[in-house]
Amino acid sequence: MHLAYPAVLSVLLFCTGLYGVLARRNAILVLMSVELMLNAVNLNLVAFDVWLSRAAEETLHSGQALTLFTIAIAAAEIGIGLAIVLAVHRNRGTSDIDKLRDTAEGHEPDGPDTDTPATGTAAEKAEATA
């Protein structure tokens, strides 16, 4: 088998995953796209390992060993990532990345200008009166 077939398949999988990461708004679909990209890398590692083991006298199978490490890291990533997404969904009620980004940055669309110095905030006034 030629090296071109798994390499082209790997490129297609990686590009599909990259499109999913850049275009999706749902956090779970972004995690699935990252998994797709990691599987494309695993396919490339195994394909190059098989291709290089035919040329070399000694077969170390380092590509397959790296693939096992990548699978273990991907399993840990999806476990922790899903736990975080579920916790955020329970607290905020959404898993939309754009909405979560806006709440994290703390935008005030109609708030006062921050260029003028204020004499005191409401918390400082409440503390001073207490």
* pLDDT tens-digit series, residues 62-78: 888 899 999 999 999 99
**Residue 20 in contact with residue 36, Cβ under 8 Å?**
yes
Q: List CB contacts of 32: < 8 A, sequence separation 6 or more.
A: 20
Length of the chain: 130
β-bridge mates for residue 96, sequence order: 26
**Residue 42 in contact with residue 71, Cβ under 8 Å?**
yes
What pTM, to 2 d.p., does this model score? 0.71
Amino acid symbol at 97 = I
**pLDDT per position as a tens digit, 41-51:** 999 999 988 88
pLDDT on residue 52: 83
